């Protein structure tokens, strides 16, 4: 490895398994000291335990790296504050935050309970907001003290947040919200030396193995496992390093060996009457605009 993150202190949430685990190990391999956060919950967010986080810490230390476990709920103010405090108290600094924690409660909209909506929004969207809030408050204080950091945040969205996904209304809404949060936070915190980007990864994890069972099975004897979560981590590590200077407010889709810069919402065909439309006129003008615009990509699972 190149030591790309040597001396940096990195927090990864939801790092006990899947993508988070892969990110934590990749950062450690590049010389970072890692705070491994994981609440140890099941796929649906129930239960808890310190085992997954500590297992990743043990893997890192066994390889000669430095890491510490954190098992509090980062979707609470106290849990998020203690996450940042763990980095500062253990290593004396914080350089990079990777927001990754999440779980699924998939239902079609007519069967989606309010509790399932709230739980998924809480862990994904609030679980991004609170660590981000406490981390950027620290970096703002550092800047005001004359120590402007080279801070990095990588948020985790999804193709479901970009295009929608049938049966995942709660998850899609939360992941779309993370993109909006990323864009606002990047604009607000640039003055404090903070760069904030988002990724929309695709990989084989607990959250995707049932959805993509036919296409995401680990290959037998193949030289390259296209769906391994480790394929996503190199981009995350680079974004979390000082080498990514100047890159902020961007969304990247990443899968296997592919990296795509997502362009997001931008103005398409437009018409301006210069006065108020009648409903019939507005409809006719809209149909004309749609005839010259690109059709939207279908939501995942749409037929």
Q: Which residues are catalytic?
A: 158, 171, 175
Measured distance CA(89)–CA(112) in Å, rounded? 41
Tell me the two tokens of residue 38. Answer: 């994981």
Contact present, 16 and 53 (Cβ < 8 Å): yes
Give me the phi and psi of 113, to 5 degrees please: -75, 155
Which of 10, 158, 181 shows the shortest CA–CA distance to 96? 10
Element (H or E) spanning 202, and its range?
A: strand 194-202
3-class secondary structure, 149:
coil
Cα dihedral 220/226/229/233 (nearest 10): 140
Q: Considering only CA atoms, which of 74, 95, 94 is closest in space to residue 83?
A: 74
CA dihedral 208, 209, 214, 218 (to 10 degrees): 120
Relative to beta strand 9-12, strand 66-70 is: unpaired
């Amino acid at each position: 490895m190149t030591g790309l993150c040597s001396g940096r202190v990195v927090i990864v949430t939801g790092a006990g398994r899947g993508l988070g685990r892969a990110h934590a190990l990749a950062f450690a391999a590049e010389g970072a000291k890692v705070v491994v956060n994981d609440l140890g919950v099941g796929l649906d967010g129930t239960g808890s335990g310190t085992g997954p986080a500590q297992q990743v810490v043990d893997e890192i230390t066994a390889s000669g790296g430095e890491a510490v476990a954190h098992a509090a709920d980062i979707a609470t103010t106290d849990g998020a504050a203690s996450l940042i405090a763990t980095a500062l108290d253990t290593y004396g600094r914080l350089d990079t935050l990777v927001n990754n924690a999440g779980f699924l409660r998939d239902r079609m909209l007519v069967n989606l309970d309010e509790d399932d909506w709230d739980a998924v929004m809480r862990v994904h969207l609030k679980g991004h907001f609170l660590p981000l809030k406490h981390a950027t408050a620290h970096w703002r204080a550092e800047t005001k003290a004359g120590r402007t950091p080279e801070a990095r945040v990588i948020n985790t969205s999804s193709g479901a947040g970009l295009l929608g996904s049938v049966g995942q209304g709660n998850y899609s809404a939360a992941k779309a919200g993370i993109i909006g949060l990323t864009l606002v936070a990047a604009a607000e915190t640039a003055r404090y030396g903070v760069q904030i980007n988002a990724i929309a990864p695709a990989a084989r994890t607990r959250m995707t193995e049932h959805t993509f069972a036919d296409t995401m099975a680990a290959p037998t004897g193949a030289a390259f496992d296209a769906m391994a979560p480790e394929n996503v981590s190199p981009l995350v590590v680079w974004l979390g390093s000082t080498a990514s200077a100047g890159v902020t407010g961007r969304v990247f889709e990443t899968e296997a060996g592919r990296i795509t810069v997502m362009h997001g919402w931008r103005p398409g065909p437009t018409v301006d009457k210069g006065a108020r439309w009648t409903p019939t006129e507005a409809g006719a003008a809209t149909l004309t605009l749609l005839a010259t615009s690109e059709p939207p990509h279908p939501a995942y699972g749409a037929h």
